[in-house]
Amino acid sequence: MEWPKLSFEAQIARLNPPAGRPVDMVLDTDTYNEVDDQFALCLSLLSPDRVTLRAVYAAPFHNERSTGPEDGMVKSYGEILRLLGKVNVKAEGFVFEGSRSYLPDGKTPVDSPAARDLVARAMARPEGDPLYVVAIGCITNVASALLMEPRLAEKIVVVWLAGHELAWPNTREFNMMQDKPASQVVLDCGVPLVLVPCMGVASHMTASTYELEACIGGKNALCDALCALFAAFTDNHYGWAKEIWDVAAVAALAHPEWAPTELVHSPILSSDDRYSFDNRRHFIRVVRSLNRTAIFRDMFTRLSKAEEILKKQ
């Protein structure tokens, strides 16, 4: 596959935090897999001063909550519709089904409404005005779109929560390892990428049922639905906390001052589930830390004012 080659100057410029506000983004999410995706979707909808959410793509996933990647995608699509219904956001032309399987290899895309919409939406944008793709699941939809139209790499910036901190002993993280060929495509192709690692960076983005009830409980129907969904993940809430780390990817785009980054050469995802490095490779940005307090305070405030914010849109 011949990928477009951005110049060094273009790489760096595209990886700088966006200057204009709000910026256009799409969200690629395996929403039914966990509860943090729902929080990330809500944060995207409720941050119109920072980002404009243009589309939502359902990503495949396979674990104990699905029978396979297709079932995971279909359930995620349904969960997106359910959540949007609670805030009276219309899904037509806004929510798209994604891939029904993982990539068979690193050269063959999986066709889907999501991949086609991403290509069409991004390629129609004017030069120098990229579409930001915030991905919080396995990267199949995005990799498929890049394989369908390699010039897409010149039109988008991907913000992806995946893998672990670069010095971590392995990369065995759910988003990155479900579809390894897709992960390798995104790391290898040269698309501008902001990587938000899980363990070592986003792993402290946890909350408890007590905190959620204290901060957003009773504020509105959406807050109560999120509290109930979160609480349902365990029968023993004493001393329990759960990751809501998917919101980190949205926050990294919406508030880059809360997610300091470093320019690094894109790592190589090796066959033994580890990173290796080559300083001749293109640059990406890697988030090195997250201001958990600022991110959660902002999210709780927006959730509490959800009805007011949505009425203005």
Strands (E), the chain: 23-29, 51-58, 95-96, 131-135, 156-161, 193-196, 206-207, 242-243, 261-265, 268-269, 275-276, 283-287
Instruction: Copy the structure tokens of residue 118.
Output: 């991403």
Q: What is the pLDDT of residue 307?
A: 92
| Percent of the chain residues topping a pLDDT of 70 | 100
Please write the tens of the pLDDT for every residue from 173-222.
999 999 999 999 999 999 999 999 999 999 999 999 999 999 999 999 99
pLDDT for 20 beyond 90: no
Over residues 17-28, the mean pLDDT reads 92
Whole-angstrom Cα distance, residue 306 to residue 313?
Answer: 11
Over residues 87-96, the mean pLDDT reads 94
Please write the tens of the pLDDT for every residue from 102-153.
999 999 999 999 999 999 999 999 988 999 999 999 999 999 999 999 999 9
Q: What is the pLDDT of residue 228?
A: 96
What value does the mean pLDDT of the chain take? 96
Q: What is the pLDDT of residue 5?
A: 83
pLDDT for 1 beyond 80: no
Q: Which of these ranges, 245-254, 285-294, 303-312, has the smallest mean pLDDT? A: 303-312
The answer as to CATH 3.90.245.10 being correct for domain 8-311 is yes
Q: What is the pLDDT of residue 173?
A: 97
Confidence of residue 23 (pLDDT cuts 50, 70, 90): very high
Q: What is the pLDDT of residue 82?
A: 94
Instruction: Give the residue, 284 or 271, on which the prediction is more confident.
Output: 284
Q: What is the pLDDT of residue 162?
A: 98
Q: What predicted TM-score, i.e. pTM, was given to this entire model? A: 0.97
Confidence of residue 21 (pLDDT cuts 50, 70, 90): confident
CA atoms within 13 A on the CB side of 163: 30
Find where tokens 């959410």 sit.
Answer: 53
Edge-first strand order for the sheet with 23-29 is 95-96, 51-58, 23-29, 131-135, 156-161, 193-196, 283-287, 261-265
Query: 201: which residues sit within 8 A by CB, 6+ positions away?
Result: 165, 248, 287, 288, 289, 290
pLDDT for 282 beyond 80: yes
102 near 178, Cβ under 8 Å?
yes
